[in-house]
Structure 1
Amino acid sequence: MDKHTVRDQLLDHARNLLMTRGYNGFSYRDLSALVGVKTSSIHYYFPSKEDLAFEAVNTYSADLMSSIYAIDSSAPADKKLDRYAKVMARIAGEGDQVCLCGVLSADIASLPDKVRQAVQAFFRANENWLAKVLAEGEIQRTLNANGQPEASARALFAAFQGSLLASRLFQARARLDEVIQIVKR
């Protein structure tokens, strides 16, 4: 097996295990069985579970944020928000998946410090992007942030995270689709 492929497989399976079982719900032995390598091979790539979770969060965050930052900056704010909702919808899949960082936020008390900080950075990056779009939308009169784009961004991001959980719970992606209507005029 090529090292790059094994590492990618380990990260992919780790992300799935983190999303479905949480940080404390799996071991390197579980990962070993899924990828078909010895646990010592996992330690070669990721000396500790903390290292594995940190890398999983960082790659997940980088992938998602690159999609968000790729949204056309010259588009009207309401269109940017529509595109953001589509990025969130990709996370949801058919309503059976949740956000890795959203799930890990529920485990925050037991996460190693650097994993906790990476999850917090993901939340802040999303909230900051949303605050800018909401402020633009108020100026353009297409979005309503009640004059508080930062607070509205935090509430909107929380609504997206909650809707991802509810979409999975009810196997209904429509829960996510409804969130965007909160701030549209």
Structure 2
Amino acid sequence: MNKNKNTAELILDVAQSIVQEFGFNGFSYAHIAEKVGIRTASIHYYFPNKEDLGEALIARYYKNFISSVAQIDTDTQDNLEKLRKFILLYDAPVQEYCTCLSVMLSTDLATLSGNVREGVAQFFAANLEWLERVLDQGRAGGHLNFEGTAEVRAHQFLASLQGAQLLARSFRDVSRFNRIADGLISALT
């Protein structure tokens, strides 16, 4: 990777960490510059304005999500195990008492650019589509048992994980996330 790519990725890494802790409106380029050890002008070189940074953040987050669920699909055929691995994607930020980038961006949705809002919606749609497919396949294969449609269950599953992140963060208690995640799995068996 070239130096420009390294610096841009480092900026995105730091920005994502800050957003996941403080929200999109809770920081400035000066905060990133201080953590990265560069001038704010350097950040503007890669991301001319905060909207550009937001678009890059959600685009990268979406790309990483698509890659992660593709890996889950490759690694296992067991739909219950796929759901357990999906939960781990949402568990990672909880370990730092943060929420996922998409949840934090959603809290600032009214102040985000149209492209960032569309990126957040695209991210959630991809989550729901993947969950619905896995739930449908699991029920058809006799491995998952639930009432109602897979579409409704996918929405409930995703909303529960997002809410579990918020509760774990609010109480600074990872076990709250774990209890909800365990309940989601046990409700399907």
Query: After TM superposition, is the score higher than 0.5?
Result: yes
- Kindly indicate whether the alpha-carbon contact (under 8 Å) linking 1:164 and 1:176 is maintained by their aligned counterparts in 2: yes
Deviations 1:108-154 (A, max 9, x none): 11111100111111111011100011111222333234231111101
Unpaired segments ≥5 residues, structure 1: none
* Inter-CA distance 58–25: structure 2 relative to 1 (3 Å threshold): same
Aligned equivalents of 2:123 and 2:64: distance in 1?
11
- Kindly indicate whether the alpha-carbon contact (under 8 Å) linking 2:128 and 2:155 is maintained by their aligned counterparts in 1: yes
Partner of 2:168: 167
Partner of 1:134: 135
Aligned equivalents of 1:95 and 1:140: distance in 2?
36
1:61 aligns to 2:68 (yes or no) = no
1:155 aligns to 2:159 (yes or no) = no
Q: CA RMSD in A?
A: 1.9
Unpaired segments ≥5 residues, structure 2: none
1:87 aligns to 2:84 (yes or no) = no
Aligned equivalents of 2:87 and 2:149: distance in 1?
20
Deviations 1:50-92 (A, max 9, x none): 0101111111222233112211355122121112122222232
Report how many aligned residue pairs link the two structures.
184
1:3 to partner: Cα distance: 2.3
Partner of 2:20: 19
Aligned equivalents of 1:155 and 1:22: distance in 2?
24
Partner of 1:6: 7
What is the percent sequence identity of the aligned residues? 33
1:180 to partner: Cα distance: 4.3
Aligned equivalents of 2:142 and 2:183: distance in 1?
15
1:184 aligns to 2:159 (yes or no) = no
1:95 to partner: Cα distance: 5.1
Does the residue aligned with 2:73 lie in a helix, a strand or coil? coil
* Inter-CA distance 95–172: structure 2 relative to 1 (3 Å threshold): farther
